[in-house]
Structure 1
Amino acid sequence: MKLPFKWDEYSDQPAQLKEKTYKKEMRKRELFSLVKTIFTAIIILPLSIIAMPFVKRKQIDSSVFFSMGVDYQREPEFTLELLEELDTKSILLRLKLWELETLDELKNFLMKNKSRKIILKILQDREHIEDLELLRKDLRVIFKALDGLVDIYEIGSTINRAKWGFFSVDEYNRFYKTAYDLKETEFPDAKLIGSGVIDFEYHFTAHTLFNFFKYRYDGVASLLYVDRRGAPENTQMGFTLSDKIAWLSTMVWISPKSEHSLHITETNWPITGTAPYAPTSEYECVSEKLYADFMLRYYLLSFASQQVNSLSWHQLIAPGYGLVDNRDGIRKRSAFYTYKFMIQTLKHAQFLRLDIKRDYYILQCLVKNRLLQIHWTLKPTTLKNEEFFEVYSMNGELIKDEILEIASSPLYIYIKDAV
């Protein structure tokens, strides 16, 4: 990335931007945009909360809802083998605008994944944010080279963190509009999603969805991390993950700039003891067991919302936060098998309902005309294993115990002869 921006190869993100004088000057330059962000949020956020009860759920295609982030340069042959084992039908890749020399490598990887739905996240650098002609030129190269291989392009990422290059929403709006104008004039079949706000900072999201720039999204991308709150059911300012999704979906629904399509294109939990590969401090890190528990529950809650079109876990191979640790060979973490059984079980599921009572969760769906309940609780308890139950652990192991331990790790319970 153009100086003073540097890339951290350990955590796959920009390093902290330490030049305080530079940051202060840039934010001062973008003060008018920051003021617009505040005023837009003052109007849109309360309005969208009021509208939340009126947003209807959609029928989500479960076969492509479960998406996986992969690095096409990291253990590429192993990656292909792992994707086959997981049997995921949707993957997300990231392309750095400052490394276009890898475009042929990416194209070769995509050719080997033609059977999968592809989301390509195009990562920005400061040079392309400042030079929109350069951005248009390089996007033209990307769109032309990957025509027919990419289903959705995510334009830009993490726009509300200065270390990623943007200092205001208007800078992002100009960036996205450049891509949109190119699509309209030369690549009408390309589908573009955007916004790219990380975490629960919806004042930035509001400004990306309500402004006077002449562009549209084919859907909205969100990097909806909740790792700093611990469990996905925990609240932030009174909002659970399910509440955050409902609120975000409502903003997408009432925005004149977007199709009613929502994609969570990045989320995870950092894993304890993996520094410097963990993207956060050790304080936010969790054990591998909790990582698997939280991942599955995040997916289940998002699927139950029936408002998220795809959810891409970040990512398949990464020592600090991936399903696979590649520091010393290839080691599949427990979460790999949790993800594998989740897809195996739910890739053709029809959602029915989510019941929550006293921190006890039951998600119900139909799987091949069989009623499946998935149970977990924040307050450990027990449940009798009835004769009409067929119970599996979250990693797919058949459980025949007379008494079931219901706790942090969800259990899959088929109800025999229920349908």
Structure 2
Amino acid sequence: MTDSLGRFTGAIAKSWDGPAIRAQLQSINQWLNDVGTQSLSEGRDRVVCAQIEVEGHFQKVAVKVFARQNRVKDWSDGRRGSKAQRSFDAAVFLVDHNLHTPEPIAWLDRWENGRLLESFYVSRFIDALSFRDALAVIYREERDNAPLMAILHRVAPAVRRLHDAGFFHGDLGNQNILIPRAADGEWLEPTFIDLNRSQTVSEPLSDRLKALDLARIALPGAYLDIFRMIYSDHEVFPAPLAALEGKARQWFWRHRRNSQWRHPVRTFKKWVQRTPSSPYPSDADFWLWDEKSAQPMIALGPAEKLRQRDLSDIAAMLLRGLWAAPGLFLRYQKIKALSFTRPVELKQRIGVALHPDPDYIKPELKLLHALGNPPVLVRFCHHETPEQWAAAVELVRRLKSRSIPVMVALLQDREAVLNPDAWREFLFTVIPLIADAVDRVEITHAANRSKWGIWKSRSFAELMVPVRTLKDRYPDLEFVGPACIDFEYLPVLASLAVLPKGLTFSGLSHLLYVDRRGAPENKQGAFSTLEKSILLKAIADGSRAVENRVIVSEVNWPLKNAGVWSPVMCPYETPAWRIEKLG
């Protein structure tokens, strides 16, 4: 119900109404100009944090100050209610339906001769990051999959409850979802703000309205797919809704990209102020670690990854493959003919990997002893802390004291590519500490997988530059690589071709997985693990950049019911995987 509040018309929530509150609201311009007022967001419609006195105590409130608008919009708002009034009514709806929004306090309008001169919406202040800013912290500072998955498991169901209650937000961007966080880091229930474009209906939203809301959620493609499944109660995102959402998303983000032409003055101001267009990293720079599967996550969708590919790099790789193919085929045939012609001692040729995590290193060492103390691989990751590196060094020393052969792998992240000095410091910190305790060092990891931070061959070459100095400094230490992954040998040829002048590997290391084959003898086309290994040997035999021996430094074997701990299923167990597991 509209009330008169001095020179304003508006309404006050019953739980807040009283003479003292009315008096303060009637002088809202005065206390908005108080020195204690804090700006929360700038723009045409700005938001400030102010204090209001309630029964002798001051409480923080958020005030949205709506800007003047043209006559047509004033005429429209005079009939359907101002933005402030619509925000208040929408907030009341959410509160009545047990959905989270800052508690509505009041709305105030000042009209004169059919023109809306001043308009304010007042709500309780909530000290929380927006979904947008929380994601920026995760992407740029934490760089960890766990808090991202935790926040998706909070936000997606909250959006679904919003829609099931018949509430269409109308501007459901990441910036309009607040996500409080407890002291222990746990994300709390999301809160929805900026409600003036909303609509309400008496039943769950239609797919069309759901799609319009969901289209504004900004996430990298792979995580957007996860968000959709969580929104769908952990089921497959319905095809009709997916089609509508895809069209709405395409239109909305094209509209956003074209804003520079529609708002040239605003764009120029941002350029002058050096304001970044997005708080998030570029698609190429997304890098999030998953501790459960001990690998970075695939963050981008197929289309996003395709946009980052360097066509000239791909063309050069294909040409190298064509050039090498005839000689490679001849060497392959020759080596294959020698297979199984003499016995091979396998003792000390097959090892295991250990990780110095305090939660499970003790049982790992016990299992190692039960296996007869085979060779061990220990990984050092660039993204880890110096304390974690120290723990890995301690493990290497411990194994050395037991006369257990050790190989070390040094793994890059995207930051290593972007900051070569940090990568160099990492190498020159770790290697001197373990050089006398290990047999060999593998440099970089899965360079042919963009999730590990390398998009181009020249980026791999730059990571190799410090290795040349280290090899001269430690002549008895073997450096092996390029440690590409899977049955993809064109990247192996490309990596060997771009090694810095004067650098050669002491062995060709490769990560050869068999999980999608089911067993080593199962073939991928004409190639089982035997033929794949022979082809690797043929590459090493014909390259001047590597000595003629092959080290398969990583093999995985599928374990049933591993869930999100599996490198294939992490970070989310999709409906298809759940069905397969139950079957």
Task: Identify whether the pair has TM-score above 0.5, normalized to the shorter chain.
Answer: yes
> 2:458·2:498 contact (CA, 8 Å) conserved in 1?
no
2:332 counterpart (52, 57, 60) = 52
CA distance in 1, matches of 2:577, 2:494: 29
CA distance in 2, matches of 1:158, 1:8: 16
Q: After superposition, what is the alpha-carbon deviation per residue over 1:126-164, rounded to whole angstroms, capped at 9, x for unaligned?
A: 111222222222211111111211211110111111111
Counterpart for residue 113 of structure 1: 399
> 1:159·1:197 contact (CA, 8 Å) conserved in 2?
yes
| 1:142-153 equivalence runs, <5 A | 142-153=430-441
CA distance in 1, matches of 2:469, 2:315: 26
TM-score, normalized by length of structure 2?
A: 0.45
Give, as a single letter, the amino acid of the residue that structure 2 aligns with 1:154: E
Counterpart for residue 458 of structure 2: 170
Query: Shift of residue 211 of structure 1?
Result: 4.3
CA distance in 1, matches of 2:498, 2:288: 31
Unaligned runs of 5+ in 1: 288-419
The structure with the largest helix share of the pair is 2
Counterpart for residue 250 of structure 1: 538
| 1:93-104 equivalence runs, <5 A | 93-101=378-386, 102-104=388-390
Query: Shift of residue 236 of structure 1?
Result: 1.2
> 2:505·2:547 contact (CA, 8 Å) conserved in 1?
yes
TM-score, normalized by length of structure 1?
A: 0.62
Counterpart for residue 200 of structure 1: 487
Instruction: Give the length in aligned residue pairs.
Output: 284
Give, as a single letter, the amino acid of the residue that structure 2 aligns with 1:68: V
> 1:209·1:252 contact (CA, 8 Å) conserved in 2?
no
Counterpart for residue 427 of structure 2: 139
CA distance in 1, matches of 2:466, 2:513: 28
Q: Which has the higher contact order (CA 8 A, sep 6+)?
A: 1
Q: After superposition, what is the alpha-carbon deviation per residue over 1:86-143, rounded to whole angstroms, capped at 9, x for unaligned?
A: 1133011111112141122112111211111111111101111222222222211111
Counterpart for residue 387 of structure 1: none
> 1:66·1:88 contact (CA, 8 Å) conserved in 2?
no
| 1:240-279 equivalence runs, <5 A | 240-279=528-567
C-alpha RMSD of the superposition: 2.7
2:445 counterpart (157, 170, 173) = 157
Give, as a single letter, the amino acid of the residue that structure 2 aligns with 1:77: K
Counterpart for residue 79 of structure 1: 364
Give, as a single letter, the amino acid of the residue that structure 2 aligns with 1:110: V
Give, as a single letter, the amino acid of the residue that structure 2 aligns with 1:9: E
Relative to structure 1, the CA distance from residue 19 to residue 240 in structure 2 (aligned partners, 3 Å threshold; closer, same or farther) is closer
Give 3-state SS (helix, strand or coil) of 1:167's partner.
Answer: coil
1:63 counterpart = 2:343: no
> 1:4·1:19 contact (CA, 8 Å) conserved in 2?
no
Give 3-state SS (helix, strand or coil) of 2:484's partner.
Answer: strand
> 1:230·1:284 contact (CA, 8 Å) conserved in 2?
no
CA distance in 2, matches of 1:25, 1:180: 33
CA distance in 2, matches of 1:146, 1:120: 9
Q: After superposition, what is the alpha-carbon deviation per residue over 1:268-320, rounded to whole angstroms, capped at 9, x for unaligned?
A: 222222211111148899x9xxxxxxxxxxxxxxxxxxxxxxxxxxxxxxxxx
CA distance in 2, matches of 1:66, 1:21: 39
1:182 counterpart = 2:470: yes
CA distance in 1, matches of 2:344, 2:356: 27
The structure with the largest strand share of the pair is 1
1:12 counterpart (274, 294, 298) = 294
Unaligned runs of 5+ in 2: 1-141, 144-284
Query: Shift of residue 173 of structure 1?
Result: 2.4
> 1:70·1:92 contact (CA, 8 Å) conserved in 2?
yes
Query: Which aligned runs of 4 or more in structure 1 are off by greater than 3 angstroms?
Result: 19-26, 55-61, 210-213, 281-285
> 1:129·1:166 contact (CA, 8 Å) conserved in 2?
yes
Q: Which has the larger radius of gyration?
A: 2
Q: After superposition, what is the alpha-carbon deviation per residue over 1:192-248, rounded to whole angstroms, capped at 9, x for unaligned?
A: 101111111111112123346312001011111122122221211211211111111
Relative to structure 1, the CA distance from residue 284 to residue 209 in structure 2 (aligned partners, 3 Å threshold; closer, same or farther) is farther
> 2:518·2:558 contact (CA, 8 Å) conserved in 1?
no
Give 3-state SS (helix, strand or coil) of 2:351's partner.
Answer: strand
User: Taking every aligned residue pair, what percent have the same amino acid on both sides?
Assistant: 25
| 1:347-386 equivalence runs, <5 A | none
